[in-house]
Amino acid sequence: MNNTVILSGAKNLLGVNIDHIATLRQARREEEPNPVKGAKVVEEAGANSIVCHLREDRRHIQDKDLFLLKERLEIPLNLEMAANEEIIKIALKVQPYQVTLVPEKRKELTTEGGLDVRGNFQHLKETIARFKKNGILVSLFVDPEISQIKASQEVSSQFVELHTGSYANEKGEERKKELKKIKEMTELAISLGLRVNAGHGLNYKNVIPIAQVPGIEELNIGYSIIGRAIFVGLEKAVKEMLKLIKEEIP
């Protein structure tokens, strides 16, 4: 995809994370299921972007997948990655539409918390400048906390992706509190000139209140969609999620 196409200001977009198609492939180190083929099915089903995470341990997505995704996709590629030099160099070669910088621990099952932007201020500022110089949009995956959002603006990120994991894990009143936090932090981020995405732990049962938060542009969802695809097929799993986030919003 040509990176000059800018999707600015649109709302209720769906980015589908295809990592777990590759997780299944890597279980046997075979060619199938192929995440690039999967990404094309997701694109055809109407999703707005493809998200994947090149992890340092290469447990799912491999370097060659990225180059093929960049070559074959018509919709934007959003590359999740740690701000580590090896991965930064690969990302600068691939030239995705967007990078989302995430914290990464080798032993975690999935990205557990948001980035500590304050604690890694100088390194993130320099890394963001390198991507921006190359025409790549930058997003920081952060917990919905005032200090991290202010720091994201200070390091000149264009986007924040608000971590919805706590919202997804809580129930009842606690979930309502998390939702309120996400609403308030979306407002704060926008008031500071940042654009806002959200994701992690979202599924067919909990996504609507997040999709209804004014100002969030794109939801990045992986595990629940790929899991449902086993039962209903990938195209239908994507379409069902699109229907929830685009059509059931008043």
Q: Which of 100, 157, 158, 166 binds ligand PXP (CB under 6 A)?
A: 100
Tokens 């309120």 found at: 180
Residue 80 near ligand PXP by CB under 6 A:
yes
Q: Which of 36, 91, 102, 242 binds ligand PXP (CB under 6 A)?
A: 102
Instruction: Report the residue number, 111 or 152, with the smaller CB distance to ligand PXP.
Output: 111
Q: Which of 46, 118, 223, 239 binds ligand PXP (CB under 6 A)?
A: 223
Distance CA(3)–CA(99), nearest Å, equals 12
Q: Where are the alpha helices (DSSP H) in 50-145?
A: 63-72, 85-94, 121-133
For the question of residue 163 being annotated catalytic, the response is: no
For the question of residue 20 being annotated catalytic, the response is: no
Instruction: Report the residue number, 17 or 153, with the smaller CB distance to ligand PXP.
Output: 17
Q: With CB under 6 A, what is the number of residues at the site for ligand PXP?
A: 19
**Angle ∠(58,121,66) on CA atoms, nearest 5:** 25
Which residue stretch of 91-99, 147-155, 173-181, 220-228 sits at the interface with ligand PXP (rule: CB under 6 A)?
220-228
Q: Which of 25, 40, 60, 200 binds ligand PXP (CB under 6 A)?
A: 200
Instruction: Report the residue number, 111 or 157, with the smaller CB distance to ligand PXP.
Output: 111
Q: Where are the alpha helices (DSSP H) in 85-171?
A: 85-94, 121-133, 146-154, 165-169
Q: Which of 73, 221, 237, 244 binds ligand PXP (CB under 6 A)?
A: 221
Contacts of 220 (CB under 8 A, 6+ apart): 15, 16, 17, 51, 78, 100, 161, 197, 198, 199, 200
Which candidate, 86, 73, 84, places its Cα nearest to that of 18?
Answer: 73
- Tokens coding 127: 């890394």
Binding mask 16-35 for ligand PXP (x = CB under 6 A): -x-x----------------
Active-site entry in 43, 80, 217, 218: 80
Contacts of 233 (CB under 8 A, 6+ apart): none
Active-site entry in 20, 60, 163, 200: 200
Q: How many beta carbons lie within 10 A of that of residue 116, not counting itself? A: 15
Distance CA(148)–CA(85), nearest Å, equals 22
CB of 116 to ligand PXP, least distance (A): 14
Q: Which run of H or E residues covers position 220?
A: strand 216-221
CB of 53 to ligand PXP, least distance (A): 5
Which residue stretch of 5-13, 24-32, 174-182, 217-225 sits at the interface with ligand PXP (rule: CB under 6 A)?
217-225
Distance CA(250)–CA(242), nearest Å, equals 15
Q: Would you name the residues annotated as active-site residues?
A: 53, 80, 200
Q: What residues make contact with ligand PXP under the rule CB under 6 A? A: 17, 19, 53, 80, 100, 102, 110-111, 141, 161, 199-202, 220-224
